[in-house]
Amino acid sequence: MQQIKIILFILILFIASSLWLFYQGGRQTDPDFNKNWWSVYFVNPKSNDLDFVIDNHSDKSDFQWEVLTGGNKVQTGELKIKKGESQNIKPADIEKTADQKITIQVFSGDEKREIYKNL
């Protein structure tokens, strides 16, 4: 009986550990829980298409974006994105010429992210 009690005690401890570790693991891999980051990326990295996504996992929600061609600002926009959400942005048609570098800059607070394509 004593041995059965030890076995049951080990099992209870293991179950408690397992529950806690799974719970912790879930929170640690959750992109939003206690995390503060955001990303910008092109929807289609291979083509000349300029559609992009802002994926927000930060506590900030105000984002401003700019499209620059050769260093000149040609389009701007502002939007609100809640934590855990993302938004697909389609810049208006831009006249594209060969050897042109089109840059998307996104700002939130004092942070900046940039992606670009060389046409």
Partner 1 sequence: MLSLAFNQILLYFSIAVTMFLPGWFLLLAVFGKNKTVSALERFILSFGLGIIITDFIAFAYSKLNISITGISAIIGTAVFCLACLIVYKYRTYSDYQDENRKLFSFSKNQFVLILLLLFLTLFIKTAYLSATVAPTATDMGHHMYWTKLITENHKLPDYGGMPDFIIGEHIALAEIAMIAGFDFFSAFPVVVLLLINILGILTVFSLTLRIFKNKNIAIFTLLFLGMLFAISSPQAKFISGGVIGNIMGNYLLSLIFYFFARAFSELDGLKSASIKIQRSFLSFAVFATFGLFYTHHLTAFIFLFIFAFLAFFFLTINIKNIINILKTSAKIIFSPPVIATLILGLIFFFFIFTPTYIKTSAVETAVGVPEKSTRTGLSFNNLKTAVGDARITLGFIGLLILTLSLKKKSFGFSLIFSWAVMIFIMSAMPYFLFINLPSSRIGNYLSYPMAILAAYGLHYVFNSGINNPIPKKLLSSAFIIITAFVFANGLSDNAEAFKKSPDFSPMVQTFNASEYLAEKTNAGEIILKDHNYITSSDSWIKLFFMRGYKYPLSRGYFRRYEDKTNAREMCTLYMISNPDGEQAKVCYEETKTDYIMINPVYDSVQFKKLKNFDQVYMTEEIAIYHKK
Residues at the interface with partner 1 (CB under 8 A)? 2-7, 9-10, 13-26, 28-31, 34-42, 44-46, 55, 57, 99, 101, 111, 113-118
Specify the DSSP element, H or E, that contains 102. Answer: strand 101-108
Three-state SS at 20 = helix
CB of 39 to partner 1, least distance (A): 4
Complete DSSP assignment for 57-87:
ESS--EEEEEEEETTEEEEEEEEE--TTEEE
What is the greatest pairwise CA distance in the chain?
Answer: 83
CB of 95 to partner 1, least distance (A): 19
Instruction: Give the nearer residue to partner 1 in terms of CB position, either 37 or 62.
Output: 37
Closest to 97 in 3D by CA, of 74, 81, 79, 76 = 74
CB of 84 to partner 1, least distance (A): 12
Instruction: Give the nearer residue to partner 1 in terms of CB position, either 3 or 97.
Output: 3
Instruction: Give the nearer residue to partner 1 in terms of CB position, either 6 or 90.
Output: 6
